Chains A and B, each alone.
Chain A
């Protein structure tokens, strides 16, 4: 049957027309030449013209529109992992251990990516606190400059190939019985230690050397000499009524500062009910973060600091007078304490075994052994001793050593004369580096077997005997890396994975504590730490004083006062192993407030005497040369109030030569000039003042002592202090405005015609205890990482373009030689009568109904009027496109810090927008966390619990200096503290009504020191 044809037009059934239209595509001539050859007729504007112009317009518009906002890819889950809910964070207990720090952490994961480190509140060591290093460590994971493959002689190879090569080398060295050293920093992991033991069993020609960059060799040795046990002592700062620290910056950098600070500050908090505050005397050559919280600070020169313990011991035991200023004062304090039955604790920052033996003797004399200092269960924060290093260096130099395996250590950087050693290492038959990033040592090693980042690894830790923790990976390895333990297992011929190895080891520990091993394992994995029964019971061996006489003699002989001395120190920026972390580079030193560099610090008088005064307005510092240990060191010198006369300070951790980015290679490597890896001080001589200046990136100009007004008696209402005895008499002591008590002054003066703004529901407030802040700056890094605050680099900080939302202001009062230092964490005060809000022409900053001063970044046009009108100067402007979030794409082509690298951006918190160029940003009280907390409560149909919402700075703080919460709710801690007699607002007399209150600093001392 023929199909029916449906037609609609006559042409369709007219065959001739169809044929014609088939053969001739364009029924009419194309009017291409129209207007050129032939004149345009009147009716030339036909359909084709229309189409032509349409085509042109669309084409042109497409072309123009193709210069569009760059596309950003986001990849959804194809199969959602079972325990991951997009947009919800998960937390995994793990451990951050580095350079002696042990911090039990919770790794915050968002969509499979670790983005933040939080403290683990269940830990009995770090007790929920963190350090700046721990906070910043997450950034190291996303460094695209990490080794992405194993390398043999500089070429990327397969793991199987490199294993074969290394094993054959190891075997041949074993056959010839040539020495192989395994050089590591302190390994707190029992499984790793067991593994190394097995490795050594397989290769008996090898031996293990522990090398801590900042060594505690002296203290370990002294413990062995005095107690017969090679370990660190267990200090309990919370048990001490009187603490004397001789050059030990224990709350910020010395030992395991997170543990020490938390325990120490627990006895420094005062309120009306509890005034049992410890007394802290700090003897030191260089001002430190810890001494800022001290009650009495005694500046002594570096050699006096070393001899102080000896002289103090003599004074205590035989009443011998000392030439060192302060010995008699400390003696009196201690004798008084001893007589009244108070507990004492002496810590000493020296790394000389003799000095530490004497320190133990003083502790023993004062009855501290067994009350505040315990040498019983081993403490594993640092294990390296000088003797091991000496053997290693000797063997490397004389050629006995043929092989070297470096675990988390960088001897070319961190050993004296490292560069010379580097040349030797280059000639070794076998040189293996496990470093995950390029460093001075990996550069000279033949084989690079990149280790996983700690957030990609399984591990276990035993920071102290009886405390066992498991570190679990929070992400699978980003690159083709392998945990070093796994590599060692392979080479030692140990079967299985390292995970199984740990588990097997854990069997011995967890045996019998839970109803089965799995329960133990699960529990420990979840909680992060397992504490063996009986660990709380502290016992100590008895002190054996047989070495005291020799020690005293040697100390007197080796530390003679010289005209100029130099003291080496560590700052919160770390020992140098994390120098490739931009967040640490840009973290201001709590005392000098400098970033990105090291330098000499010296007493201002000395600086002046050498004609090396700084041009402070321009942040220019004179470059001088000193001879230290026979080597010339040229660095800028910073005058720092409180540095002992005749002493120069210079800090470790800088002067890296080989890092993933040149921007990190600033300053001078102090390790390279040490005579011994364990020395903390040396004599020096002044060589010359170059007459040149270095521009340093400081964030706070130096020498800004609290300013007195005209007439002299008025002080800026920024910091308030009192003494303990005054506080007991009157809790509001020191908390005055214009000479009157604060509350009375406020009631009398701060009256307004305007109606009170009611805030029904929540009203967020914060209280910061000036007594608890030790300046460790963990909060600063935590804030930056939580809120995607960009790192801007040395030059930008130099130009005062630093972006930190939270800074720790440092103020001096008193004399230039020995001032009191006070830290004041300063952040947006969320004023209820905010000067910034009414001046914004576009209402980009405004007040929420729950008391937050908010920023609508999208609305901000960047007039910066708010920043000018902020009395606290906490608003930060995006001077350039720091975050690559500019709507025009990255205009800031000089991305020297790899901020725009897609891997580096993986650490960004998806709950917080990155800010584009030209907008103001500032502390939001972690509004994203407030919202999350409120939502959580809403979901569970309950009221918010006090302390449920914690800001990033608050949760990072090891000393609980920061309290946050709802001041409308009278049952909250923040309400009580806000209304405490110690609470005050900074410059509140200008009626900004800040939501942040500070608690007056209480120093436990007599008025003669005030």
Chain B
């Protein structure tokens, strides 16, 4: 299980006199004892957000979708914007755990647990919107292809919305499995440290009775690989399918073949930004600076600048193709995006997503916690606007000039969005106090086993 460090690389775990026991203590400490005041404060705010969400959603279901700002021309706006935004955020976790596992990127172990948790919570938030945006949520089960007594009454397999149902549910299931299977040894660790019988009992059940035998570890590793293999195509497929919601339509600005890769890059972009936001807070609050190091932040920033640039290229390609197509409606749709009624949304998107991440070409900024944090917020805002721009600016002025209209949200639209953040943070904060936020078993695997003295000697010999 030991890991050999390259001496010229930064160590993945910092801190003097770290032992395996110390690692366990550092991480599990956060689930033990009473939560600190900051946690209660944050949790209180998140709960208020959740309450707002419940109120706004109940009001919507009670009165009808008319309480939103939608209208005859713009039939989707904040609802689907939020949906795509959350799904996008939900991409980072699986990418970090699965793709980086396959690529043997050891640094992922510091952040994969929290990233996966974030993925699951983001997908939970995302999954709300296709449901609550339905006019008749109580008939929502119609979207499942279930056997019924009404003759050959099936769902429409041509509809991208149906593909969404399968894509999101599959992604959610596999993510949950992946996340949970990774948690089992760590739950066992918590169980073993538990002092109260109740705690022992609960974590024992959660760990599925993990004993840490060689056979179990071997199976654990195999399972990780299999699930990683299963998840990897999902990382690409989920957002590809989400992008089909738009790409398969006829609306100028939606009907675009570039959408699948562009959406996937955007999703990774926004997901990494959200992981960054959460990690920067978590490492500080939970005193995990030794495990989530500046090197992690820098790696994340590299992914952000890469995916941000891909997204930027996609934006510019769209503009080019609109001009090159010679097609009036397409041209107008993109002209309208940049210079129409919602120009401010477009340029917010451009600034946040394309221009500002370019700072990360400079090492100084990549390694600055403050810049990283601000940038992660910027990217999250920018990516929300990207979806808003795609959805609303394409719809509000499409083919028939007579139907052109302007969309403005109502308080319910806003409350549901803010409330969904409340839902997300409620879940995440509960997670942070009850689950090990860093994969203990995995992070131990990258813990340098060479003693400080040996390292020092080695450095001297090689004149480093």
Q: A840 within 8 Å of B by Cβ?
A: yes
Provide the A793-822 mask, 1 if CB < 8 A to any CB of B, else 0. 000100111100001011100000000000
Q: Is the CB of B66 within 8 A of A801?
A: yes
Provide the B61-75 mask, 1 if CB < 8 A to any CB of A, else 0. 011111001111101
- Contact A800-B135, Cβ < 8 Å, known A701-B404, A873-B403: no
Which of A358-366, A485-493, A709-717 forms part of the interface with chain B?
Answer: A709-717
Size category of the B interface is 35 or more
Q: Which residues of chain B are near A986, meaning CB under 8 Å?
A: 400
Q: Is the CB of B406 within 8 A of A868?
A: no
Q: Is the CB of A841 within 8 A of B249?
A: no
- Contact A842-B400, Cβ < 8 Å, known A710-B323, A802-B72, A835-B250: no
Q: Is the CB of A867 within 8 A of B136?
A: no
In the assembled complex, the CB of B140 is this many whole angstroms from the nearest CB of chain A, namely 6
Contacting A at CB under 8 A, from B237-261, are 245, 248-251
Provide the B96-140 mask, 1 if CB < 8 A to any CB of A, else 0. 000000000000000000000000000000000010011111011
Which of B45-53, B157-165, B264-272 forms part of the interface with chain A?
Answer: B157-165
Q: Which residues of chain B are near A451, meaning CB under 8 Å?
A: none
In the assembled complex, the CB of A217 is this many whole angstroms from the nearest CB of chain B, namely 39
Contacting A at CB under 8 A, from B155-213, are 155-156, 158-162, 165
Q: Is the CB of A843 within 8 A of B156?
A: yes
Report how many A-B pairs have Cβ atoms within 8 Å.
182
Q: Which residues of chain A are near B323, meaning CB under 8 Å?
A: 710
Q: Is the CB of A842 within 8 A of B143?
A: yes
Which of B8-16, B21-29, B328-336 forms part of the interface with chain A?
Answer: B328-336
Q: Which residues of chain B are near A617, meaning CB under 8 Å?
A: 341, 406
Contact of B249 among A826, A839, A879, A917 (CB under 8 A): A839
Q: Which residues of chain B are near A919, meaning CB under 8 Å?
A: 135-136
Contact of A701 among B329, B332, B405 (CB under 8 A): B405
Q: Is the CB of B72 within 8 A of A867?
A: yes
Q: A913 within 8 Å of B by Cβ?
A: no
Which of A287-295, A442-450, A858-866 forms part of the interface with chain B?
Answer: A858-866
Most chain A beta carbons < 10 A, residue from B64, B139, B156, B405 = B64
Q: How far is the CA of A396 from the CA of B143 in the complex (A)?
A: 71
Q: How far is the CA of A187 from the CA of B404 in the complex (A)?
A: 45
Q: Is the CB of B250 within 8 A of A871?
A: yes
Q: How far is the CA of A647 from the CA of B326 in the complex (A)?
A: 42
Provide the A685-723 mask, 1 if CB < 8 A to any CB of B, else 0. 000000000000000110011110110001110100000
Provide the A769-796 mask, 1 if CB < 8 A to any CB of B, else 0. 0000000000000000000000000001
Q: B402 within 8 Å of A by Cβ?
A: yes
A990: nearest residue on chain B (CB-CB)? B250
In the assembled complex, the CB of A53 is this many whole angstroms from the nearest CB of chain B, namely 30
In the assembled complex, the CB of A79 is this many whole angstroms from the nearest CB of chain B, namely 39
Size category of the A interface is 35 or more
- Contact A860-B249, Cβ < 8 Å, known A838-B159, A841-B162: no
Q: Is the CB of A800 within 8 A of B72?
A: yes
Q: Is the CB of A841 within 8 A of B66?
A: no
Contact of A877 among B135, B155, B161, B402 (CB under 8 A): B135
Q: B398 within 8 Å of A by Cβ?
A: yes
Q: Is the CB of B64 within 8 A of A879?
A: yes
Provide the A872-886 mask, 1 if CB < 8 A to any CB of B, else 0. 110011111100000
A843: nearest residue on chain B (CB-CB)? B156
Most chain B beta carbons < 10 A, residue from A859, A867, A986 = A867
- Contact A880-B66, Cβ < 8 Å, known A841-B156, A861-B143: yes
- Contact A718-B401, Cβ < 8 Å, known A867-B75, A918-B135: yes
Q: How far is the CA of A918 from the CA of B245 in the complex (A)?
A: 20
Contacting B at CB under 8 A, from A712-751, are 714-716, 718
Q: A210 within 8 Å of B by Cβ?
A: no
Q: Is the CB of A987 within 8 A of B135?
A: no
Contacting A at CB under 8 A, from B289-342, are 323, 328-329, 331-332, 335, 341
Q: A891 within 8 Å of B by Cβ?
A: yes
Q: A1004 within 8 Å of B by Cβ?
A: no
Q: B76 within 8 Å of A by Cβ?
A: yes
B165: nearest residue on chain A (CB-CB)? A841
Q: Is the CB of B135 within 8 A of A861?
A: yes
In the assembled complex, the CB of A708 is this many whole angstroms from the nearest CB of chain B, namely 8
Q: Is the CB of A718 within 8 A of B332?
A: no
Q: How far is the CA of A810 from the CA of B402 in the complex (A)?
A: 7
Q: A618 within 8 Å of B by Cβ?
A: yes
Q: How far is the CA of A617 from the CA of B407 in the complex (A)?
A: 8
Q: Which residues of chain A are near B159, meaning CB under 8 Å?
A: 838-841, 865
Q: A992 within 8 Å of B by Cβ?
A: yes
Q: Is the CB of A838 within 8 A of B156?
A: yes
- Contact A892-B63, Cβ < 8 Å, known A710-B332, A869-B250, A917-B136: yes
Q: B154 within 8 Å of A by Cβ?
A: yes
Q: Which residues of chain B are near A809, meaning CB under 8 Å?
A: 400, 402
Q: Which residues of chain A are near B65, meaning CB under 8 Å?
A: 862, 864, 877, 879, 918
**Extra 8 A-B pairs, beta carbons < 8 Å, given A716-B329, A865-B75, A873-B72:** A715-B328, A796-B66, A841-B142, A863-B135, A869-B251, A873-B400, A891-B62, A892-B63
List 5 contacting pairs A-B, 8 Å CB cutoff, sorted by A: A701-B404, A701-B405, A799-B71, A841-B156, A863-B134
Residues of B within 8 A of A (CB): 62-66, 69-73, 75-76, 130, 133-137, 139-140, 142-143, 153-156, 158-162, 165, 245, 248-251, 323, 328-329, 331-332, 335, 341, 395, 398-406, 408
List 7 tightest A-B contacts by C-beta distance, closest first: A862-B135, A918-B135, A879-B66, A800-B71, A709-B328, A809-B402, A873-B403
